[in-house]
Amino acid sequence: MREVLAARKAFDDARADAADMVARARARLGLAMIRARETGRESQATIAAKMKIGPQQVRAYEQAYREWLRDHPDSQLAA
């Protein structure tokens, strides 16, 4: 049973690590979108069209970045 519990812990740890990686990548994508809009190069609609997603999804990625900043004030989003 000890081996089963150890394997389960490893599985849970890997799942948490993967979730963190996805959250960080989502935040990086949101940051890139924000930067593209702030420099005047792209609008949300243009970004959405080029990525074949809806404008609401663009807003969701941008919000993910803002939430990342709020939840990780001392962390950098290294590329």
List, for residues 22-76, the tens digit of each pLDDT value: 999 999 999 999 999 999 889 999 999 999 999 999 999 999 999 999 998 888 8
36 belongs to a structural domain: yes
pLDDT-based confidence at residue 18 (cuts at 50, 70, 90): very high
pLDDT at position 78, please?
Answer: 63
Lookup result for tokens 């849970």: 12
Q: What is the pTM of this model?
A: 0.83
User: Is pLDDT larger for residue 38 or for residue 78?
Assistant: 38
DSSP letter for 40, please.
T
Q: How far apart are CA 70 and CA 10, in angstroms?
A: 29
The structural domain count of the chain equals: 1
Q: How far apart are CA 36 and CA 31, in angstroms?
A: 9
| Cα 72 from chain centroid (whole Å) | 13
Which residues 6+ apart lie within 8 Å of 69 measured at CB? 27
79 belongs to a structural domain: no
Lookup result for tokens 């970045």: 65
Range of the structural domain that residue 48 is part of:
2-71
65 belongs to a structural domain: yes
16 belongs to a structural domain: yes
